[in-house]
A = this chain, B = another copy of it.
Amino acid sequence: MNLLQDVLNRDVRAGARLIRWIDDGVGEARAILKQLYAHGGKAHIIGITGNPGAGKSTLVDQLIRRYREQKKTVAVVAVDPSSPFSGGAILGDRIRMQEHALDDDVFIRSFATRGHLGGLTSTTADVVYVLDAMGWDIVIVETVGVGQDEVEIQRLAHTTVVVMAPGMGDEIQAIKAGILEIADVFAVNKSDREGADRTVRELRLMLDMGKETIQHQKERVCPPGWMPQVVKTVSTKGEGVDDLLTALTDHQKSFQDACQNPAFVTARLRRQFLDIFRRTLFARGWSYLMHEDHLKQIVEQLQSGSSDPYTLAEQAVKALGRF
């Protein structure tokens, strides 16, 4: 297949098309994903997350520039569960693309999915596999907000950065949402603002207090023993970006050293498989429900009160096997 070959040759337009297919759920994408899979595993995948307004995009732009200075190729996928109000994804995308429009070694795409409400989970992982197989040195996954998405990103990324801004209540958010356990590096951005030093202090204190829990969590991922770093940045002025880059490179090195360990490789493959299995299962379940008005019949039974949804769900899952 031509598209496969073009994607493997890091053809930007072919990559963009395949990603669009994945986003739209085009069936052909899956056949290509199967063949692409063996070509991945070389990129360093960095997840960047944090609340809106923390300055993630500007920070990512700074990182792109630094990685380009090091002659590394960079792909960025911004996962934006945007509401119809924001339209931020598309707009931001265009502005950011412009700066790197003439640079073939930078690839930026936004991706509006947040998992279909019908129950399918996000296909961000597939997009990351594509970028990995394309041969980009650095793949950055940027996500908005704090929640389920972030946990998924951490499972996908090799290095996870949480971006915070002082005085936004982010500190409390951090404890509540379990962000302390997922971050490998914290960037306290907008650190020329009042309260930045306090945010840094509080974070370090919380990390110290939670040391054992964090290390326990980290043991299950990689590298074991890594303690999250806290870095101050002012992304609009480029301040602290070198420190951030150093922290990222340190983590990448320690990741590469430690994570060749077979136990971690196994855990990673297992997680990857479970994610794909879950999505395949959903897709099949959905096809069954759509087939011959199955779902409609089920809802009619619920309306008439002749059965309950738990019993009907069990029957449908059983019938799925004969389908």
Contacts and interface: CB of A to CB of B under 8 A. Distances in A.
A27 interface: no
A153 to B, nearest CB: 12
In the complex, the 4 A-B pairs of residues with the closest C-beta atoms, listed nearest first: A147-B147, A321-B321, A83-B178, A37-B308
Contacts of A308: 33-35, 37-38
Interface of A: 30, 33-35, 37-38, 51-53, 81-86, 88, 114-115, 117-119, 144-149, 151, 168-169, 172-173, 175-181, 206, 209-210, 213, 265-266, 269-270, 272-282, 284-285, 289, 295, 298-299, 302-303, 305, 308-314, 316-317, 320-323
Nearest to A52: B176
Contact of A276 (B209, B265, B309): B309
Contact of A119 (B172, B274, B323): B274
B278 A282 contact: yes
Nearest to A273: B309
A266 B295 CA distance: 11
Given A145-B146, A148-B114, A273-B298, A176 B213 contact: no
A305 to B, nearest CB: 7
A152 to B, nearest CB: 9
A82 B172 CA distance: 12
Nearest to A278: B119
Contacts of A317: 277, 280-281, 284
Contacts of A209: 85
Nearest to A32: B310
Contacts of A148: 114-115, 147-149
Contacts of A53: 169, 172-173
A311 B34 contact: yes
Copies of this protein in the complex: 2
Contacts of A322: 321
B144 A145 contact: no
A149 B39 CA distance: 35
Contacts of A295: 270, 273
A46 to B, nearest CB: 21
B276 A313 contact: yes
Contacts of A38: 305, 308
Contacts of A276: 309-310, 313
A310 B33 contact: yes
Contacts of A34: 308, 310-311
